[in-house]
Structure 1
Amino acid sequence: MIYALMQLLGGIILSFGWVPQIIQIVRTKSVQDLNKKTFILLFVGISLMEVYGVHLALDGVGYAFLVTNTLSLCLIMLILSLVWKYR
């Protein structure tokens, strides 16, 4: 139980680490210094981990992993959409 809470807290912190970047993009409407390939690779990697998280959840474990991974995936998709919008 304690490890699931640690994973949940750590995953939330890691996920919300993207929020300052999102705020800066929205505020400046500039993505010139961002490498689109980096965020595409992050998206692919997190998507693959999402499949694994769903598999764990279907087995009745890994809900914390699934929740935080889904949050990360949503934030990366938001960043990618902003990159395409402002590029």
Structure 2
Amino acid sequence: MAYIEFLGFAAGFFTTLAFLPQVIKIYRTKSTKDISAGMFFILTLGLSLWIIYGASIGSLPIIIANTATVLIVFIIIIFKLKYG
């Protein structure tokens, strides 16, 4: 694996990991009142475009990181809909 590809995977890992504390906090408190649903819907759109871009240039770090982040963001959106 080339150094630059490893760097891409590391960046994607930490970017994706950044959302986990929010998921854990929502799960524990059962509260999403201070979370903007709009921000997460826009983020999902942006992440989806990154996935398309990554696929078009054949970049696994971009595809994997953004797909994982979309899954985590979907969990947050589901919590937002459930806990309002």
Q: Do the structures match in fold with TM over 0.5?
A: yes
Residue pair 2:50, 2:62 contacting (<8 A) in 1 also? no
Task: Give the TM-score normalised by the residue count of structure 2.
Answer: 0.93
Does residue 66 (structure 1) correspond to residue 63 (structure 2)? The answer is yes
- How many residue pairs match? The answer is 83
Q: Report deviation, 1:65.
A: 1.3
Give the root-mean-square deviation of aligned CA atoms. 0.9
The equivalent residue for 1:55 is 56
Q: Report deviation, 1:56.
A: 2.2
Task: Give the TM-score normalised by the residue count of structure 1.
Answer: 0.90
Distance 1:82 1:52 in 2: 28
Distance 1:2 1:71 in 2: 22
The equivalent residue for 2:22 is 21
Letter in 1 for 2:29: T
Distance 1:17 1:79 in 2: 13
Distance 2:48 2:34 in 1: 24
User: 5+ residue gaps in structure 1?
Assistant: none
The equivalent residue for 1:33 is 34
Letter in 1 for 2:48: S
